[in-house]
């Protein structure tokens, strides 16, 4: 990949560019989501439904850890694309170097803080209502995951820079290597060595180490368009502020996702089994519903990550052309991405309406009976409700990322907060009190509708603004 390929972002057919960048990114992001799905499936069948509930308790904590990595990775990637669009390769390499330093500092800080306070954090995010068995599984999983937090930050953050600097296929290859290693090691550690949930976590960390080794070799190579330079490994206040300001939107999105996951877990543990329409009403229904939410979250995350891969394909095209003030190409790229995003989300909608029980059974061994059968029933009901307006969620996700990629950090931050805090949290506070776990599931599509409407209003305003700037020749 060279300078001519980077310049093609401003001249080639938008459809071909989107395919070139998005397909590898979609495969890569889907592969990233498969991490969690593979972990859950092997844990569900090799350890049991209670272990899936334990992993669900860890979701808020993992979202917080991911929030810092996403802030640096996405912020730096957007900055690199804009700088390359401006023809400033040195600034792009300085951004890369500062991103590495930020990932190291934040990775160590998050790892140490969370390992020291892990038990209080687990009890806090479960509202003190989870059983000791569920907390034990969560603790065993997170101790291993957090030990590899530095690797996770560097691997995910630098892979964003590979894609943003014009190597989408290599970015895809790196993530496929990670998934492949994880897929091989998970059954070995769980079934052969008998390491249980710790084995699943160890497989994840080792897989990320393998992927990081490939990533580091890419940026050390003289053949890379941008690469590690000694002058770039110095903190520069202006670059750090730019990375963090652009990356603030995904940071807050992940942070809010952590809060929402904690609210969902607390609502399910408190009210699961109390609603007239709840399908599980036995003792311990709360833990069963938390496990069901873990399954639902994995499925929803798969489609969201596929759409995020589509967005990542859009990002260098939009970033380059926005930096070059070629707004007509920006608009065309955005509209094409929105149509694709809606199509991807529609597949999730159809599966949730017509095949939810088959999806749930993939995660849990139904032959165990008892709680496993109840978890399948709860997940089936939840998938049907949660995915009920999913096609339009694709539009909302693409729109939110668009504002982030063109450097509209405050607006992107606000849009990141709306679904989580403005709409979803109040629904989670009210509806479960009347409808139990069913109220939790209903809260999610209701919040989606509000955020979709808001995204539409902001997007129309932005498109009009770009049209005026094009006419005025700005």
The region of weakest confidence among 206-220, 285-299, 404-418, 419-433 is 404-418
Q: At 399, is the pLDDT very low, low, confident or very high (cuts 50, 70, 90)?
A: very high
Can you give the pLDDT at residue 1? 42
Burial class of 124 by CB neighbour count within 10 A (0 to 12, 13 to 18, 19+):
middle
Distances (CA, A) of 63 to 30, 46, 169, 259: 17, 25, 27, 9
Q: pLDDT higher for 373 or 415?
A: 373
Can you give the pLDDT at residue 409? 67
Q: And the tokens for 327?
A: 């707004």
Residue-wise pLDDT for 195-236, tens only, equals 999 999 999 999 999 999 999 999 888 888 888 898 889 999
Residue-wise pLDDT for 271-304, tens only, equals 999 999 999 987 778 899 999 999 999 999 899 9
- The DSSP secondary structure of 248-308, one letter per residue, reads HHHHHHHHHHHHHHHHHHHHHHHHTT-STT-S--STTHHHHHHHHHHHHHHHHHHHHHHHH
* 3-class SS letters over 366-388: HHHCCHHHHHHHHHHHHHHHHCC
Residues 6+ apart with CB under 8 A from 408: 462
Q: What are the residue ranges of helices labelled H in 14-167?
A: 14-46, 49-85, 89-116, 118-125, 132-147, 149-164
- Cα–Cα distance for residue pair 339/319, rounded to 1 Å: 19
Can you give the pLDDT at residue 361? 92
Residues 6+ apart with CB under 8 A from 230: none
In this predicted structure, the answer to whether residue 2 has a pLDDT above a threshold of 50 is no
The region of weakest confidence among 101-105, 360-364, 394-398, 416-420 is 416-420
Instruction: Please state the pTM of the whole predicted model.
Output: 0.81
Residue-wise pLDDT for 447-462, tens only, equals 999 999 999 999 998 8
∠ CA 448-450-451, rounded to 5° = 65
Q: And the tokens for 319?
A: 């970033």
Q: pLDDT higher for 390 or 417?
A: 390
Distances (CA, A) of 261 to 17, 113, 395, 416, 440: 36, 20, 22, 15, 11
**Average pLDDT rounded to a whole number, residues 379-383:** 97
What is the 8-class DSSP label of residue 226? S
Task: Give yes or no for a contact between 306 and 393, defined as CB atoms under 8 angstroms apart.
Answer: no
- Counting residues of the chain whose pLDDT is more than 70, the rounded percentage is 97
In this predicted structure, the answer to whether residue 94 has a pLDDT above a threshold of 70 is yes
Q: And the tokens for 84?
A: 């390359």
Can you give the pLDDT at residue 5? 52
- Classify residue 196 as left (phi > 0), alpha (psi -120 to 50) or beta: left
Other beta carbons within 10 Å of 462: 18
DSSP-based three-state secondary structure for 164: helix
Q: At 365, is the pLDDT very low, low, confident or very high (cuts 50, 70, 90)?
A: confident
**Average pLDDT rounded to a whole number, residues 78-83:** 83
In this predicted structure, the answer to whether residue 104 has a pLDDT above a threshold of 90 is yes
Can you give the pLDDT at residue 426? 93
Supply the angle between the helices 149-164 and 196-220 in degrees, to the nearest 10.
40
Quote the distance between the C-alpha of residue 399 and its chain's center. Answer: 16
Locus of tokens 């060595």: 193
Other beta carbons within 10 Å of 66: 22
- Cα–Cα distance for residue pair 161/376, rounded to 1 Å: 40
- Cα–Cα distance for residue pair 423/428, rounded to 1 Å: 9
The region of weakest confidence among 82-91, 114-123, 302-311 is 82-91
Other beta carbons within 10 Å of 356: 23
Can you give the pLDDT at residue 473? 61
In this predicted structure, the answer to whether residue 346 has a pLDDT above a threshold of 60 is yes
- The DSSP secondary structure of 172-224, one letter per residue, reads HHHHHHHHHHHHHHHHIIIIIS--HHHHHHHHHHHHHHHHHHHHHHHHHSTTS
Q: And the tokens for 308?
A: 């995020």
- Counting residues of the chain whose pLDDT is more than 90, the rounded percentage is 46
């Amino acid at each position: 990949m060279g300078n001519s390929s980077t310049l093609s972002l401003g001249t080639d057919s938008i459809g071909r560019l989107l395919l070139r960048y998005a397909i590898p990114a979609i495969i890569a992001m889907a592969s990233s989501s498969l991490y969690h799905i593979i972990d859950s499936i092997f844990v569900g069948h090799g350890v049991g439904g209670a272990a899936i509930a334990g992993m669900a308790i860890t979701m808020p904590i993992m979202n917080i850890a991911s929030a810092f990595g996403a802030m640096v990775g996405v912020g730096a990637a957007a900055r690199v694309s804009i700088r390359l669009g401006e023809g400033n390769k040195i600034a792009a390499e300085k951004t890369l170097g500062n991103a590495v330093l930020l990932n190291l500092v934040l990775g160590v800080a998050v790892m140490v803080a969370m390992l020291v306070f892990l038990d209080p954090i687990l009890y806090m995010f479960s509202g003190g209502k989870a059983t000791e068995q569920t907390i034990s599984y969560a603790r065993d999983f997170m101790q291993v995951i957090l030990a590899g937090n530095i690797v996770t930050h560097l691997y995910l953050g630098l892979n964003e820079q590979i894609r943003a600097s014009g190597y989408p296929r290599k970015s895809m290859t790196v993530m496929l290597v990670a998934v492949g290693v994880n897929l091989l090691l998970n059954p070995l550690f769980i079934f052969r060595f008998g390491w249980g949930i710790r084995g699943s976590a160890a497989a994840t960390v080792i897989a990320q180490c393998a992927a990081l080794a490939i990533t580091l070799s890419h940026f050390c190579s003289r053949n890379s368009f941008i690469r590690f330079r000694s002058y770039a490994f110095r903190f520069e206040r202006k670059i750090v502020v730019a990375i963090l300001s652009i990356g603030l939107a995904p940071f807050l999105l992940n942070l809010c996702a952590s809060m929402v996951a904690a609210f969902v877990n607390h609502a399910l543990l408190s009210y699961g089994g109390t609603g007239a329409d709840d399908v599980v009403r036995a003792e311990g229904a709360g833990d069963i519903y938390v496990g069901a939410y873990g399954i639902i979250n994995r499925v929803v995350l798969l489609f969201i990550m596929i759409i995020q891969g589509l967005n990542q394909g859009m990002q260098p095209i939009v970033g380059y052309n926005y930096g070059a003030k070629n707004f007509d190409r920006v608009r065309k790229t955005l509209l094409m991405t929105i149509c694709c995003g809606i199509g991807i989300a529609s597949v999730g909608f159809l599966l949730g309406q017509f095949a939810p029980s088959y999806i749930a059974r993939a995660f849990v061994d139904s032959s165990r009976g008892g709680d496993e059968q109840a978890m399948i029933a709860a997940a089936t009901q939840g998938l049907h409700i949660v995915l009920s307006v999913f096609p339009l969620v694709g539009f909302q996700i693409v729109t939110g990322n668009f504002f982030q990629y063109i450097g509209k950090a405050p607006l992107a931050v606000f849009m990141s907060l709306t679904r989580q805090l403005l709409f979803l949290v109040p629904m989670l506070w009210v509806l479960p009190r009347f409808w139990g776990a069913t109220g939790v599931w209903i809260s999610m599509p209701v919040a989606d509708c509000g955020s979709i409407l808001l995204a539409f209003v902001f997007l129309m305003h932005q498109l009009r603004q770009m049209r005026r700037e094009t006419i005025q020749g700005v």
